[in-house]
Every structure is written in structure tokens, then in C-alpha cells.
A and B are shown apart, each in its own frame.
Chain A
Amino acid sequence: MLMAALLSGCTDKVIVLDPKGPIGEAQKDLIYLSTILCLIVIVPVLLLTAWVVWRYRDKPGRKAAYKPEWEHNTKLEIIWWTIPILIIIALGTVTVKYTYALEPSKPIESEKEPVTIQVTSLDWKWLFKYPDEGIATVNYVNIPEDVPIRFQLTSETAMNSFWIPQLGGQIYTMSGMAMTLYLQADEPGTYYGSGANFTGEHFAKMTFDVNAMPQEEYDEWVKQAKASGNPLTEEGYEQLKIPGTTGTHTFSSFPKGLFEKVVNQYAVGGSAHRHHGAAPGGESESRKEDAGAKGEHAHTPAASPSPSGGSHHAGH
């Protein structure tokens, strides 16, 4: 049944088995390899089950042996303790090897310098920042093909999981932490990405496109984005944080160190950290809000250098 399902999976919609990058490729190989190792055990077991049930069914005139007292055979039992142990040793060895090889924070070997993209999951949208290029996007991400991408991930809210199946497996975005995930696209194309971990009401809307393109095209896009004159300001970021959904956006710049600030906001002595006791009055009427844990109310949007930026990408 599963075999059939996997075989029928050779269409382009089964994206996990249709990878477009080295990480996804290795994971696909591992999926196939571990499936085959498992099938070595379970196919004979399934056949044996069918045979035993058929052969020893009760019916008049049956010729099969009946030994109601036969309850133990050391040799047989040693055999079926040994078989799964051997398979698990084999599978375990492969797994450990791949676990180290595919550790998500391990750089992908390449002659090219990796591109760093800082990913922040918000309610309910994705913010991508390109610290080296100084640009940012919302709900889509462009990458050059054949270049390792170093995703740094964090969350401004509940934990999400950043997943682009055709490039490789997912990793969680968690507030107060920066995770690293290396991925690479080997060919141009638009790949589906999603937030794979539930984050509340409109979590299903947190899908995004990953556009892999040739280097020149990518450079051209960066240039255009920079020239678009639509900066993400501190104020704009505060707007973006408001729970809601939004379309795609491109920003020509973003406040320096924004990602680090988001990651470090909870660190003791961190720049943006203040206790919830400092929450301004009036906003919190019930105990529910009063005990608000993260002290979000305490943030006053820092004076924004550009007051015009944040209006059109507010949450809806």
C-alpha cells in the first residue's frame, strides 16, 4: 500500500521527492534508503502473516498441523531478536552518518560565498532581511541559484517552522533564539515554502514563494529593490508586528541590527527588555492582559528616521 503510494509519488506534485537542491537531494536519498531497509523486514512479515492466517484457519478436514502445547523455541526466538537488531544497527549507522552530514547549521560546501538571509516569523507573515544587501521582503524570498543560502531564523511571536520542501527540511523559528539553516537551489524556479508549525488563527496563510534565479537576475532584482525607495522603518516594523495577514512587500532598507534586536529582546539587560510591570495603564483591563508575559506593551516605537514608511504594510 505504502509502496504504491510512494511509487505513485513520482509526479511533480510530490515535492519532497522532487528536490532541487543538495540538502533536499540527500534527504530524499535517505528516505529511499531507510524505506528499503525497513521493507526488507516488513514485506516478509506481511507475507508470513497472510500465509499463517490462511494456512492455520479452522475448517473441517484441514490437514495443517495443530500443536496446542508448542509455546517456545529458543532458536526461533533468537532469530527474530537478531533480525531487527541487525536492521536497526544498519539503519542507525546510516542515520548517524547523515545526522552529522546534514546538520542544518553546517555550511554547504561551495566555491561561492553564502548569501545570508535573516528570517523572522510574525503573526501571520514572514519577514526576510538581506543584511549584506540591505534590503528586506515580506512573504517572498528571492535567492541566486547555485549559491549556498545561510538562513538565520527567529520569531517575534509563537514558534513557527520554516520549510521549503524542495530545497530541504525544516527548522523551527523561535523567539529569543537565532537558528541557522543552510539550503541551496541548484536550478532556477519557484518553490513552495510554508510555516509548518501552528501559530494561531491565520497560520495557514503563512505560505511564501522562494524564487531561485540566475546570479545576474538576482543582482538586478537587488538593485531594483534598493532603488524602490520604500524603507522598512522601526515604526513600520511595529506595524508589521500587529497580528494579521498581508501580501508581499519589498523594502529598500531596514533598521540596522533589527534581527539581532528581535533575537536579544529577552536577554537580561537586552536593549529592548523591560518588565511587564512597566506596561502603560489603560491598555490592560483584565488580569489576562495585565499579566502579559513578554512586556510587549513596554516597547515604545523608537523614533523613526522616516515617518512615511510604515503605512501600507500594516496588518489587516
Chain B
Amino acid sequence: MLNDLKDFLLNDFFVTGDPLILGSQVAIALSIVAIVFVLTYFKKWKWLWTEWLTTVDHKRIGIMYIIASLLMLFRGGVDALLMRVQLAAPQLEFLHADHYNQIFTTHGVIMILFMAMPLMFGLFNIVLPLQIGARDVAYPFLNALSFWLFFWGAMLFNVSFVIGGSPDTGWLAYPPLSGLQLSPGVGQDFYIWGIQISGIGSLATGINFVATILKMRAPGMKLMDMPMFAWSVLASCVTIMFAFPILTVTLFLLFLDRYLGAHFFTLDAGGNPMMYINLIWMWGHPEVYIVILPAFGIFSEVVSTFARKKLFGYKSMVFALMSISVASFFTWAHHFFTMGSGANVNAFFAITTMIIAIPTGVKVFNWLFTMFRGRITFSTPMLWTIAFIPCFVIGGMTGVLLSVAPADFQFHNSYFLIAHFHQVLIGGVVFGYFAGLYYWWPKLFGFKLHEGLGKWAFWFWNIGFYVCFMPQYVLGLMGMTRRFNEYDFDMGWQPLNIVSTVGAFLMGIAFIFQVWQIAHSIKFLKKEKTGDAWDGRTLEWSIPSPPPVYNFARLPQVSGRDPWWEEKQRIARGEQPSPLPPLEPIHMPKNSGIPFIMSFFWFVAGFGFVWDWKWMIIPGLAGVVICMLIRSFSYDTDYYISVEEIERTEAKLRGAY
């Protein structure tokens, strides 16, 4: 009995036998001990619980999203560097095939779902309510629940690294490879439940922000007066609402196949793997637009602020955003032109894919003409934006090349494709979110990040990017296919692979610069006291940094676009600021531990499903249900901030001016 247990723990439960993983296990254990020690020593447990784990404040939730996503960026980045080392020379035996397969799978899943998505949600949370003059999102409790579902889902996925083994069938896990017969291990189950749990959170966030935008705008703010970032959030969240249910259902069907022996995606008994591939891309393609659209919004804000000029072609921009959001649902089959759908289908999806290039191109022109006759300053957010344009234009062009269906027969699954999607995801999404992070950082924390170190990071990222990915286009044309863990000497792939690896490490150095930059800026804290760090244009810059819990002491009255800029112009012209209405008590949501606890029960249930431990599944699911019931019957969920307290807070925050 004891021997059985030992056998299970060493052979199945813990991943053993690999020094890299052993090292990580030790590191993880040490980090946990260190964190527990620090929290106990400084008596911070209560603070952690009341200020952070139970918070429903959108700003704090946003900060937690961003911290989590930067950690995931680190993890996914280490995965990438390991892969690049393995590919630096032919027949290298740095990583075994099965280990390599796990790493590219987790790299993809983590970067898209646990890095890009939470970084995006973090920016939504921090910026959107402030931009539209709201005091929180429409459903603050749900917002906290979304975050914790993401968090515990991500934990469940990441734990597979040291417990049970990681998934190894690629980031979209095509059956039959991801089916039980060809992937009998638990890695694939970690994949299903990790993504499933966090995916529910993503869907809820989508609904939450659509409701917030439609119902919570400041008095007088018409939809066509919203900042472009708010429009991009709307476009992204509407896409989430339609795309994520597809993911949930698809993963659930895959779960049924694996857990109950159903046959949705196996050929036996009338199932079909092609159904999975269609479904997963019906989510997967919109997914990449979900993450890129907010980046477009960020660029629009940054360009306008740092060119000190109104955004050019607002209506065109709105139309372009919304049409991309709709069109993204009609292109999915371009991911499998080579699966024999026939000429009619391929022609249709080639055309729909190309059509997306039109609104995207229009946006580029509008950004250029925002800068045209502007007065451009080159702070870090603007640098990222300017670097984005050529990068995304080239990445977009190779995307159009891939959409040419008969040519795609030669590009598909090759490094040409790898280079393309990294170019649009790094050059578009990552550059965009970095621009946003640098831009709104002072709003978030009340101090700017060190510009000099930021510029070092910027150049390392950019040069590293081109050194890493330009060779991969050529490697694709040399016949190198994705997911190869080794290649032969005679293919002539080595020189370019070495260049590519060097580029990857340059980006790694860039990340170190960013960590240094953050640490340095915290240490030599230079308080940013105006609340308006960049001479901004939109409402978030009209309040102190960091904003008080209620954001706006008085809800702003808005007429027209760029309300804060217009207000500043009026004051500069010597006009009287509009008279302030009297303060009123502010209605706010109360903190709640239920989102954290309920999501933890999801984690427990998910872990139980992964190992098929009913003794764990049942209490896990029961915990979820009980949390729902408790929440449904609790009526003491809100409170009022009194006028005196608002006055005190405002005096303290604004007195510092």
C-alpha cells in the first residue's frame, strides 16, 4: 500500500528524472516558502486578504492581472529560449523530443491565454472605467470572479509542469492526437481544465465590459464620443461574447471524449476530428483579433496624445474596428486550406481573409495622418507605437501572402507561418500592450517608469525581434516545418537558426531591462503629482494618480471627444471652469472573499477531474455550488462613502498639487 503510493507519487504524480524540471521544482518550493515567510514575518496575511484577495476594485484587479501576466510572460519566454537553444544546432540533444513537445505547447498556450489575455484584461480594468467616467465596472463582483477564475485556471495549467506532466499536442490540441488513445497522460486533461476554468472568466469579463460601456458612461458621453480605446474594448468584448462559448463547448466535448469515451472527435461511432478543427478555429481566429483590437485602441490614444493632435478619421476608425470584429468570424478555415476543403471553400476563405486587410490598412493611414501636422515627442509609449507601424505592416503583408490559398500550400506549417504570427502578435499585441502599460503606468501607481532604461528595453526588444524572426521567414521557405525538435545537417538550416536564437536572447535581455526599469523606478520613486503625466486628452487624466477608490468624486459632465483636453484648453483661454455640483454620498460595492474561494474550488474540482479522483471532484464542485448559494442569499453587498470622507480624501489627494 505504502509502496503503491510511493510508486504513484514518483512515477505518475511528480514529474521526475529531468534536471531542468527538478531545478524548477526546487525553485518553486523555495519561492513558496519564501513568500509564506515574508508574509508571516511582516504580518501581511490580513493585509493580503482584505486589500487584494477580496477586492472588487477594478484598479486593483487590473494590477493583479498585470502582475500575473508579467510572470506568465517570464515563464513563456523561458520556454521560448529553451526551444531556441535546442534549435540552434542540428541534432542537438539539449531537450528530449517529449520535453520539447511539452515546451512548445505550453509556450503557445501561456503566451496567448495566460499572458496576452490577462495583460489585456488588466489594461481594460485599469483604464476603461476611468476613460468613460465610471466608478467601477458594471458587475464588480463578477469582475473579481473573472480574475480569480483566470488565476486558478492558470495555476492548474502551470502545475502540470511539475505534477503529472505538461500537455504536448500543440497549443490547439488537434484530435486524434489529443484524444485518449494517442495522449493517454494527464497533460491533456490539465490543458482542458486549465483553459476551461480561465475561459469562463474571460467570457464573464467580455460580458461585464460590454455592459459597462453600454450602461456606465459618464452623463453626456455619446457612443461616438468615446475614446478610441473604449471602442476597441467594445469590439474585443463583443468578439469574446461570441467566440468564447465556442471554446467552452469544444473543450467540453473533448473532455467527454477523453473522460467518458464519447466519440465527438474520434472516427469511431461517427465522430470526426475535422469538427474539432473547425470549432477550435471558429474560436481561435476571432481570439487573435480579440487580443489585437485593444492594441489598436491603445495606439490610437498614444498617437493622439504624443502627436498632440486630435485622432484623425475617428468615424473610419470606429467602423474599421467594428468591421474587423465581425469579419473575424468568417475567416477561420484559412487555418486549414490544406485539409482538402476544395477550391470553392478555399476561394471563399481566402477572400474573406484578405478583406480584413482593408480596414486594418485604413487604420494605419489614420494613425499616420494623426501624426501628420502634429508635434511628436518620443516618450516610451510613443516609441512602441512608432515601432509597431512598420512591424505590423510587414506582418500584415505576410498575412495576406498566407491568405493566398494556393500559395499557402507551401507556407502552411512552416517557419514562414511561425514568423508571420509572431510578427503580428509581438509587433502588434505585445508592442501595443507595452505602449499601454508605459502610458497608463503613472495613472496606476502615481509615478513614471524610468525613461532611459525603458529605451534600452525598447531597442533590445525591437532589434531582437527582427534578428529572431526575419530569418524564420527564410527558414520556412527552406522547408523547415514548425514543431521540429531537431533537423539534419544537410538542410542548411543551421546558420539562420543560430541568428534566430541570438535574436531570442536579445529579447530576453530586453525583458531583464524592463524588470530592472520597474525596480529602479520604484526605488528612486519620483512622485507624479499632477495626475496628468503626459498632458493627456481623456477623462482618466483629470483625476489624481493613483485614483481614489471611487475614481470620480463627481461624475463628469461630458460633451464631445477629448473632454479633458477641451477643459484644459478652456482654462488656458481664461474661461471659468464649469461650476461643480455639490458632492453626494457614493454608492460602492463591498469586498468579498467568495470569488477567490469559489475559483479555488474550481481548481480543486479541475485537479480532481484531471486525475479522475471522485473524492476530490465532488467536494470541489460542491464548494462551487455552495459559494454560489451564499452569494445569491447575501444582501449586504454594498455601502456608501459619506460626503465628509470624500472631502477628506480629495483634500488629501488634490492638496498635494
Q: A residues touching B (Cβ–Cβ < 8 Å)?
A: 1-2, 5-6, 8-9, 13-17, 24, 26-27, 30-31, 34-35, 38-39, 41-42, 45-46, 48-49, 52-53, 56-58, 62, 64-73, 76-77, 80-81, 83-85, 88, 91-92, 94-96, 98-105, 157-159, 161, 163, 165, 168-172, 174-177, 179-180, 192, 194-204, 207, 266, 268, 273, 275-276, 286-296
Contact = CB atoms under 8 A, between A and B. Distances in A.
Contacts of B180: 288-289, 291-293
A16 B313 contact: no
Contacts of A273: 268
A276 B268 contact: yes
Nearest to B487: A204
A231 B540 CA distance: 77
Given A58-B308, A91-B400, A288-B180, 16 more contacts: A2-B394, A5-B471, A14-B478, A15-B477, A16-B476, A45-B368, A57-B378, A67-B373, A72-B313, A88-B354, A165-B479, A169-B408, A198-B170, A266-B267, A268-B270, A290-B261
B470 A295 contact: no
A158 B179 CA distance: 9
B336 interface: yes
B347 A95 contact: yes
25 contacts: A16-B410, A31-B404, A48-B368, A53-B386, A57-B377, A66-B309, A70-B312, A76-B369, A98-B405, A99-B346, A157-B182, A163-B479, A169-B406, A172-B340, A174-B339, A176-B272, A192-B491, A194-B481, A196-B414, A196-B481, A198-B177, A200-B177, A201-B97, A291-B180, A294-B176
B413 A201 contact: no
B485 interface: yes
B263 A34 contact: no
B176 A163 contact: no
B409 A99 contact: no
Interface string B342-363: 1100110011001101100110
B339 A66 contact: no
B407 A27 contact: yes
Interface of B: 97-98, 101, 168-170, 174, 176-177, 179-185, 257-261, 263, 266-270, 272-274, 307-316, 336, 338-340, 342-343, 346-347, 350-351, 354-355, 357-358, 361-362, 364-366, 368-369, 371-378, 386, 389-390, 393-394, 396-398, 400-401, 403-410, 412-414, 466, 470-471, 473-474, 476-479, 481-488, 491-492, 612
A42 B397 contact: yes
Contacts of A176: 267, 272
B373 A34 contact: no
Contacts of B183: 200
Contacts of A17: 477
B406 A102 contact: yes
A15 B354 contact: no
A72 B357 contact: no
A245 B485 CA distance: 15
B101 A77 contact: no
Q: List 4 A-B pairs, minimum CB-CB distance, nearest first.
A: A169-B409, A291-B261, A266-B267, A293-B266
B405 A95 contact: yes
B350 A157 contact: no
Contact of A199 (B177, B315, B358, B409): B177
Contacts of A15: 477-479
Contact of A204 (B268, B361, B386, B484): B484
A292 B180 CA distance: 6
B351 A92 contact: yes
Which one of B336, B369, B394 has the greatest number of beta carbons of chain A within 10 Å?
Answer: B369
Contacts of B482: 196, 198
A291 B180 CA distance: 7
A81 B316 contact: yes
A180 B343 CA distance: 13
A2 B398 contact: yes
Given A49-B389, A99-B346, A165-B410, A291 B258 contact: yes
Nearest to A193: B479
Contact of A163 (B369, B481, B483): B481
Contacts of B257: 293
Nearest to B261: A291
A175 B267 contact: yes
B400 A34 contact: yes
Contacts of A92: 350-351, 354
A118 B484 CA distance: 25
Contacts of A85: 358
A172 B336 contact: yes
Given A88-B358, A163-B413, A68 B407 contact: no
Contacts of B259: 291
Contact of A53 (B270, B310, B376): B376
Contacts of B612: 287
A159 B491 CA distance: 24
Nearest to A105: B340
Contact of B371 (A30, A42, A56, A197): A56
Given A49-B368, A99-B405, A104 B340 contact: yes
A15 B492 CA distance: 11
Contact of B361 (A80, A161, A177): A80
A198 B169 contact: yes
Contacts of B261: 276, 290-291, 293
A16 B401 CA distance: 14
A100 B268 contact: no
B412 A169 contact: yes
Given A171-B340, A276-B268, A289-B184, A14 B365 contact: no
Given A76-B369, A293-B179, A67 B481 contact: no
Contacts of A69: 310
Contact of A295 (B268, B371, B483): B268
Contacts of B375: 56, 58, 62, 66, 68
Given A69-B310, A76-B369, A84 B358 contact: yes
B565 to A, nearest CB: 9
Contacts of A295: 268
A235 B336 CA distance: 35
A14 B474 contact: yes
A294 B491 CA distance: 37
Contacts of A72: 312-315
Contacts of A101: 406
A282 to B, nearest CB: 17
Contact of B362 (A84, A98, A161, A192): A84
A183 B174 CA distance: 27
Contact of B98 (A158, A180, A201): A201
A66 B376 CA distance: 10
Given A289-B184, A294-B268, A31 B169 contact: no
Nearest to A243: B182
A9 B184 contact: no
Nearest to B189: A288
B374 A294 contact: no
A173 B268 CA distance: 17
Nearest to B185: A288
Contacts of B394: 1-2, 42
Nearest to B368: A52
Contact of B343 (A42, A88, A99): A99
B507 to A, nearest CB: 17
Contacts of B369: 73, 76
A41 B362 CA distance: 12
A71 B310 contact: yes
A157 B178 CA distance: 11
A175 B340 contact: no
Contact of A68 (B309, B361, B403): B309
